[in-house]
Amino acid sequence: MGVSTNTILQIQNLEKIYPNGHHALKDISFDVVQGEFLVVIGLSGSGKSTLLRCINRLLNPSGGKILFQDQNITFSKGKRLRKTRSEIGMIFQHFNLIPRKTVLTNVLMGALSRTGILKSFFGIYSKQDRDNAYKYLEIVGLTGKANQRADNLSGGQQQRVAIARALMQNPKILLADEPVASLDPATSHSVMQYLKKVNQELGVTVVCNLHFLSLVRQYADRVIALKAGNLLYDGKPLEINEDWFKTIYGEEAVEVTIN
Ligand code: ADP
């Protein structure tokens, strides 16, 4: 009620308390608009990863609400949860590819929620899935690498394979948990540019955790900042001035730029 039709995700008073009592998310509320490129920043341990894992329900929230496409998914289970997960793609810091399999096989694994484990095990994919796999490999600039083993690729290329794999789910939203944290600066930009391309050309909404503010300024439409589980800032990247920087990262912090 009263929500604009282009809001894809609503986080309302979200709480996460881990079983050991650690209060990792405290009363977090924000909306994500369809097609937005939202970046989450904050010091290590501020709750960024916990937030993404609550959104795709790898973790169960302790309180509050998550509405995805106007459906309350906070505590959904079974078939409903599987459907939600299939509409939310995820990219991880360490790519999580199967190293000895080909690039194409890794991308096709993204269709698992449709194909089923047995068919996937025997490599039985539909023509549609294969066509899509090649289409997404082209989008991430890796057409020529389809038959190479994943572990023969550079880190940045492996992360691009992971993006293509996530696209196989035909996700409405892509969550990226520190996608460039294991990469060097030049490669980081390349991966961010492909994420931005996916966002702009396919219209997939992106929510991405990042360390470096310089990357945030270049790629984010909007940024939220977490500190010790609290939401400190929600606004435009360019409005994060020196004062905000110190508030978010601490008085001692010095900005490091990635060129
Ligand atoms: P970030 O992604 O910003 O580095 P995390 O979401 O990984 O932060 O962690 C937020 C806080 O929750 C940290 O203090 C971390 O130690 C704690 N934490 C993360 N996972 C667990 C867990 N499984 N059990 C207890 N505490 C955890």
The pair of three-digit structure tokens given for residue 6, joined into one six-digit string: 């282009």
> How many CB atoms lie under 10 A from the CB of residue 210?
25
Distance, CA 21 to ligand 1 centroid (Å)? 11
Is any ligand 1 atom within 6 A of the Cβ of residue 49?
Answer: yes
Degrees, nearest 5: CA angle 54-13-236: 85
Any bridge partners for residue 222, and if so which? 38
Distance, CA 25 to ligand 1 centroid (Å)? 9
Is any ligand 1 atom within 6 A of the Cβ of residue 156?
Answer: no
Is any ligand 1 atom within 6 A of the Cβ of residue 42?
Answer: yes
- Atom 22 in ligand 1: which residue has the minimum CA distance? 18
Please give the Cα distance from 58 to 49 (Å, whole number). Answer: 11
Is any ligand 1 atom within 6 A of the Cβ of residue 60?
Answer: no
Residue from 46, 59, 209 whose mutation best tests the ligand 1 pocket (most atoms within 8 A of CB): 46
Is any ligand 1 atom within 6 A of the Cβ of residue 18?
Answer: yes
Segments in the chain forming alpha helices (H): 48-55, 78-87, 103-108, 112-115, 117-121, 127-139, 155-167, 185-201, 213-219, 242-249
Going by C-beta distance under 8 Å and a sequence separation of 6 or more, which residues neighbour residue 1?
Answer: none
Given a contact cutoff of 8 angstroms between Cβ atoms, the answer to whether 108 and 130 are in contact is: yes
The pair of three-digit structure tokens given for residue 15, joined into one six-digit string: 């709480």
Q: Tokens 């035909």 map to which residue?
A: 170
Is any ligand 1 atom within 6 A of the Cβ of residue 177?
Answer: no
Residue from 50, 59, 175, 230 whose mutation best tests the ligand 1 pocket (most atoms within 8 A of CB): 50
pLDDT, position 112: 76
Please give the Cα distance from 6 to 70 (Å, whole number). Answer: 10
Distance, CA 32 to ligand 1 centroid (Å)? 23
Question: Could you list the pLDDT tens digit for every one of the 259 residues in the chain?
Answer: 445 569 999 999 999 999 999 999 999 999 999 999 999 999 999 999 999 999 999 999 999 999 999 999 999 999 999 899 999 999 999 999 999 999 999 999 998 766 666 666 666 788 999 999 999 999 999 999 999 999 999 999 999 999 999 999 999 999 999 999 999 888 999 999 999 999 999 999 999 999 878 889 899 999 999 999 999 999 999 998 888 888 998 877 777 666 6
Is any ligand 1 atom within 6 A of the Cβ of residue 228?
Answer: no
Going by C-beta distance under 8 Å and a sequence separation of 6 or more, which residues neighbour residue 14?
Answer: 25, 27, 28, 29, 51, 54, 61, 63, 64, 65, 66
DSSP 164: H
Given a contact cutoff of 8 angstroms between Cβ atoms, the answer to whether 195 and 125 are in contact is: no
Q: What is the number of H-type helices and E-type strands within the chain? A: 10, 10
Please give the Cα distance from 162 to 120 (Å, whole number). Answer: 17
Is any ligand 1 atom within 6 A of the Cβ of residue 44?
Answer: yes
Distance, CA 49 to ligand 1 centroid (Å)? 7
Distance, CA 85 to ligand 1 centroid (Å)? 22
10 SS3 class: strand
Given a contact cutoff of 8 angstroms between Cβ atoms, the answer to whether 194 and 160 are in contact is: yes
**Number of C-alpha atoms within 13 angstroms, CB side, residue 94?**
3
